[in-house]
Structure 1
Amino acid sequence: MGRMDVPPDAISPQQFHDSEGVDDWRVLYWGAHAFFRTSSYAEASRFVAAITAIDEVVRHEPDIDLRHEGVAVKLISRDVRDLSTRDVDVARIISTVARDHGLVADASVLQVVQTAVASPPSAEVTPFWTAVLGYVRPNDTHLVDPLRRGSSVFLQPEGRVGPQRGRMHVDVCVPHDQVHARIEAALAAGGRIADDSAAPEWWTLADAENHGVDVTTWWGRESTRLEEERPVR
């Protein structure tokens, strides 16, 4: 039996980042992400062709996005619905191929954006959002693009919305080593920190009209899954 046939052991974001050979990768919402810069579609295509020719990569079914600027890859173990030791193995393989092709990873462009909509338990709004977005429902609180392209939607229980928060806000998940640069850029652009009591898991920022944005990282999380109970925010 090959290693890819053996059920993998789930691991935490911290365990993933503590592994050797994954410096190109960052844990964000829904998995481990990397972006490899390329100079053309042709160069990007050759890289994708090379990694998809490797059995371990193909059988793991990573999400791959090819653009002129580069190739984005996301890894998650769907059989455990979280990160696993297999993601570490596949990340190492992909990074090795990238180096062989002379490609460099750029963590500064990595992010996952999510829209949070507050809703009381009595309001049955899920069918509306599912229909209007063309999304699917993987769990009780989240709606996602079935092809995993667009931002996810979090139907946040109303009782978990903190005081002086709007009924809708945006979550922006960025690499842990990029979060302070992102916050500083937002502050320089006219924003303010509305609440940093949950840092470094997330900081709540607001614009001049008091629209909220939670800038988040994987710090403090035991999983990339988002259906766990979380504090009022």
Structure 2
Amino acid sequence: MDVEAITPQQFHDADGVDDWRVIAWGAHAFFRSGSYAQGARFVAAIAEVVAPTQHDPDVDLRREGVAVKLISREVRNLSTRDIELARAISAAAREHGLEPDPSAVQVVQVALASVPSADVTPFWQAALGYVRPNDSHLVDPLRRNGSFFLQDEMDESKPRRGRMHVDVSVPHDQVHARIEAALAAGGRLADDSQAPYWWTLADAENHGVDITTWWGRESIRLEEERETEAAD
């Protein structure tokens, strides 16, 4: 079966996907439940929905609810199959009494900048127990935790010290509230030249965080999905 990739905008323009938000690594939804048992019944319903499709989502069951991520691994991107599955999963959530909560959706990644001559990737791969799909990206093989991205710091004249920041991907309709909350909590806006792709904020000690959305992306394809595809 041919699978055609779609953009984040095309996903959000589709009918019946109001529960879902595109952020890094696919389309995500969080459905709040009243109990662990209620969430478990919903997870069983998801399994029934996807059984004939062989298009398995990532599902995380917690006492507070169920998180679901959709991605078409054949193209390492979103596709029309994800739209169809999103609609079916949302219908199952309503049937089982779970409420969507887009404000609970996010993806966190750590980015480490170093000069190209300093190959620190093997150290971090060993320390984290992650897999290495390429030279600059480390990912949890079970996709449970945030990824670790190694960025080249091209200016080798800079002091040889660690430069690390956090990337937080949030829904596009939540980003301004998240930024305002961080500023109200003592942060400052360090750089908005890449907005609305991302905004760089810093705390009182100048530790940085990039708050990012799908705005500015033609694709959500990232290297993590290559490792996912290889593992399937």
Residues 165-176 of structure 1: pairs in structure 2 closer than 5 A: 167-176=163-172
Higher strand share: 2
Structure 2 CA distance, aligned partners of 1:57 and 1:40? 28
1:48 paired residue number: 43
1:145 aligns with 2:128: no
1:188 paired residue number: 184
Query: CA-to-partner distance for each residue in 1:27-47, whole Å, 9 max, x for gaps?
Result: 111111000010101100010
Residues 12-23 of structure 1: pairs in structure 2 closer than 5 A: 12-23=7-18
Deviation at 1:102, TM superposition (A): 2.0
Query: CA-to-partner distance for each residue in 1:81-125, whole Å, 9 max, x for gaps?
Result: 111111111111101111111221100011100000012222222
Distance 1:47 1:14, change over 3 A: same
Cα pair 2:22 2:28 within 8 Å, conserved: yes
Structure 1 CA distance, aligned partners of 2:187 and 2:146? 22
1:126 aligns with 2:137: no
Q: Which one of 105, 110, 119 corresponds to residue 110 of structure 1?
A: 105
Gapped regions of structure 1 (runs ≥ 5): 1-5, 228-233
Structure 2 CA distance, aligned partners of 1:199 and 1:19? 25
Gapped regions of structure 2 (runs ≥ 5): 224-232
1:222 paired residue number: 218
Structure 2 CA distance, aligned partners of 1:126 and 1:219? 29
Per the normalisation by structure 1, the TM-score is: 0.89
Structure 1 CA distance, aligned partners of 2:195 and 2:203? 19
Cα pair 2:50 2:56 within 8 Å, conserved: no
CA-based RMSD: 1.8
Q: Which one of 31, 34, 38 corresponds to residue 29 of structure 2?
A: 34
Query: CA-to-partner distance for each residue in 1:167-211, whole Å, 9 max, x for gaps?
Result: 110000000000011011101100010111111110000000111
Distance 1:139 1:223, change over 3 A: farther
Deviation at 1:58, TM superposition (A): 6.2
Query: CA-to-partner distance for each residue in 1:10-34, whole Å, 9 max, x for gaps?
Result: 0111111111111111011111100
